[in-house]
Structure 1
Amino acid sequence: MPFVVAIALIFLLFIFLEKRYPLHRKKTFRQGWLTDLTHYFVNQYLVDVGVFLLAIPLYVLLGWAIDNPLSIAIATQSASLQFLEAVIIAELAFYWIHRAAHTILWLWRFHAIHHSSEQLDFLSAVRFHPIEMAIARVGVGLPLVLLGFSAETFGWYLIWNALNSVFIHANIRWQIPMWMWWIVVAPRYHHWHHSKDILNKNFGHPLIDLLFGTFYYSSRKIPMGYGITEIVPSSYWGQLRYPWKKKKN
């Protein structure tokens, strides 16, 4: 029950913020919001639970790899240092998973679902095909498990990641000084990633994008058109089937 209440409060908070400080004027319950909610519940309660259940035997099988001097050293660190290291490692892993989803065709077929939103808001953060979500969870979580980070640290990372993802997709016009971006990234930065014109930039944290040459930002203008040229179904079941459909020439 406390978890459900927390989700409801976050939902209401972002509805208020998007109404009070909108980057673009739009309806609160825009087209596709019910589809996005369905994605959230399926990914949260089926995919995440499935990945967690898979992690248990995986942890047992890979126990020999986890029991090493590096993982032992990590386990003796403070919780705050573990969390900081986990965020850095996970963000690096996510960057390359995300970038691969834009460059490898079969991965893009799944990732296109996320980019099909033509009106971006906080709920767009949860529009992910279950298979892509499972790949991301394993790809980010496996390095943390192998390096010996505690389950508690991984749990705190998941909470931070969820809140950060909702914030950077939000339809909020807040400008955040760039020197603060290593802590809090302005939504407008990620909005450029969803722009039809700047699709292959801003895959992750700005510092990582700078490091690998995929950084883009303009303080003088805002992205005006979201989405992709491909026609992706608007229904949940249509989006589930979309990656498996043969592409017409």
Structure 2
Amino acid sequence: MTTMEAPAPPAWRARWLVCHGYLRLALLVSVLVVAATVPVVSSRTASLAELQGAIEAGRVGQVSVSGALPSGATGSRTADLVWQDGPNARVTTVLHLSDGSQAPPPGLANLDQVVGDLRHQLESWDGRATLRVVDGADLAAHGTSIAGWQLPAWLGQVAQWLWAAAVLVLTTGPEPRWATRWAWFWAFISPLAVWAVPLFAVASVPLPGRPSPRRPHRQLTGGWAFLLVLIPGFGR
């Protein structure tokens, strides 16, 4: 009985698979570098209760306030409180209200609220009377908050480029491991993208020079992935 061997892939495809492997390796290295950079250049988000506890414990010597209501002003504004507790800077975003009877603006009801004199409120938590409350720079340049970190604007742009590179690797390479292309795609455009992109870079595509593994017997399909990424939304 004669055994038929599978035809070898065209030369151009073999070369592309090698190039694609190095592209995946570059994505992996970039993800690791960004992950190592985040704790160095970013601020860790913290609640107002955490800030209060740190001040009362004497671990905070200075709080920089930006965006608070000016003295004598009425209304409400979001204010950023930047403080140091350990090796990383912390940032607490609060809703500063001039009057406690005010209703929070739409979309801001989930923020911790401070009514009245913000500076006096912070100083009242310091039993040692050594806390310095200073005016801080506007944190608009810090971009968005991702996975509990307030990222600088430039690092947020790098994260967007990494996301685009992951989509390129996903759509132009061999079938990924663990999940189908559609499953990874739904993860990429969901709130889970901050975890899905690094996981995809680490485990989805074989390293250069190694043959692509056979498709697993069971993979997460696009339909199931779509339902899974909807679950966090239902919990809100």
Same fold flag (TM > 0.5): no
Bigger Rg, which one: 2
In the superposition, the TM-score normalised over structure 2's length comes to 0.25
In the superposition, the TM-score normalised over structure 1's length comes to 0.24
Relative CO higher for 1 or 2, CA cutoff 8 Å, sep ≥ 6? 1
Between structures 1 and 2, the one with greater strand share:
2
